[in-house]
Amino acid sequence: MRVLLIDNLMIRRYGNLRMGPGRKLMCGCVRNNFRFCEFSDRDMARLLAPLGIRPLGGVIANRKLVKTARNFRPDVVLLGHCDYVTNETLEEIRRALPGVKIAHFNVDPIWQPGTRAQIERRKHVCDALFVTTAGPDLRTWATGRNVVAYMPNPSDPSMENQDNSLKDAAAFARDFFYAGNPRPGDPRMETVRFLQARLAGRLAFDFYGMDKPSIWGAAYEEVLASSKMSVNLNRREGDKWYSSDRIAHLMGYGILTFLSDKGRMQDFFSSDECVYWSEPGDLAEKILWYHAHDAARRKVAHAGRERYHRLFSGARTLKFMLETLWGEPYTEPYEWAGEVYRA
């Protein structure tokens, strides 16, 4: 299998990278012994922009993408966040490579208008669409010529490469942390402020993106490796199986992860593998309980890490995506395979 992955690979960040799902799928290609080629549309648009004029760089980047596809001859084109890539370019690739399959994956919440517009834009030119929210709303983008499916946020042991469940409490720089970039009006801010007041003086915590600057790259990974517990807050809770890719970082690192009880994650993880909370007061009390009972913290975090990597590895997620894309019988019972929609 030859896979051309088009995504925002952030080469222009010079190593200050996010552990995004595109890179996890690249790892999945390697672990499945697939040949792959990556193309970063935003980086190419910037690199190729004459006089720094990014729209012109985007035009040139599209031409270079077609050239890349002709040279590499992929069986599959996977598109992530590729705003510079036009549908006309994808059609040109399809004409050049008549047997190619094209899929778009989108990890943003589908209740956001911008996300819906991105998916709507791609639905007629892609053979498959994958999103990290489940539910019948996915039928909206089924055209009769494509398939629309849920995909989990993938993990990979080369990125989530620590196991904090094996570490003693004394090994951590902090007991609890949250990292995000909330905007004014974001309901997560209210939850974080509540936790600050309730936890103050009772355990060591850091909130990045609020009281402390946002963190990326190696600095973020260092915080992950030196934290016992965290909460997986989404801008909106209650959408079936939706989570930002933060969940892969937290559970994949063996950090005791607190999940809202409203998103149906109980379909994947039991209360022996994570901690479910109903409202901020309940969350605070459970954080304090596990802070006082470190053996329980380690046991639950270890079980959660094992299950997350087993269910949602990049290799397994990619295999599901490709089997769905090609309409092949599933080679194993994927726990989320009921969320596949065709018109």
Could you give the domains of the chain?
2-154+313-341 (3.40.50.2000), 164-312 (3.40.50.2000)
Asked if residue 334 has pLDDT above 90, the reply is yes
Asked if residue 277 has pLDDT above 80, the reply is yes
DSSP 169-227: GGG-SEEEEEE--PPTT-HHHHHHHHHHHHHTTTS-EEEETTTB----HHHHHHHHHTE
Q: What is the pLDDT of residue 19?
A: 79
Asked if residue 178 has pLDDT above 80, the reply is yes
Asked if residue 18 has pLDDT above 80, the reply is no
CA angle 58, 59, 62 (to 5 degrees): 85
Asked if residue 13 has pLDDT above 80, the reply is no
Average pLDDT over residues 16-31: 91
Asked if residue 247 has pLDDT above 80, the reply is yes
* Cβ neighbours of residue 323 closer than 8 Å, sequence gap 6 or more: 329, 330, 331
Mean pLDDT rounded to a whole number for the chain: 96
Average pLDDT over residues 255-283: 98
Percentage with pLDDT > 90 across the chain: 90
pLDDT tens, residue by residue, 44-75:
999 999 988 888 999 999 999 999 999 999 99
> What is the distance between the alpha carbons of residues 176 and 230, in angstroms, rounded to a whole number?
5
Tell me how far CA of residue 272 lies from CA of 119, 221, 283, 296, in angstroms. Answer: 36, 25, 16, 9
Asked if residue 11 has pLDDT above 90, the reply is no
Asked if residue 321 has pLDDT above 80, the reply is yes
Query: pTM for the full model?
Result: 0.96
Asked if residue 182 has pLDDT above 80, the reply is no
Burial (CB count <10 Å: 0-12, 13-18, 19+), residue 95: exposed
pLDDT tens, residue by residue, 109-132:
999 999 999 999 999 999 999 999
Average pLDDT over residues 86-115: 97
Q: Where are the alpha helices (DSSP H) in the chain?
A: 21-31, 41-48, 54-72, 87-96, 113-122, 187-199, 217-225, 246-252, 280-292, 294-312, 314-326
Quick one: CA dihedral 333, 266, 134, 214, positive or negative?
Answer: negative
Average pLDDT over residues 124-149: 98
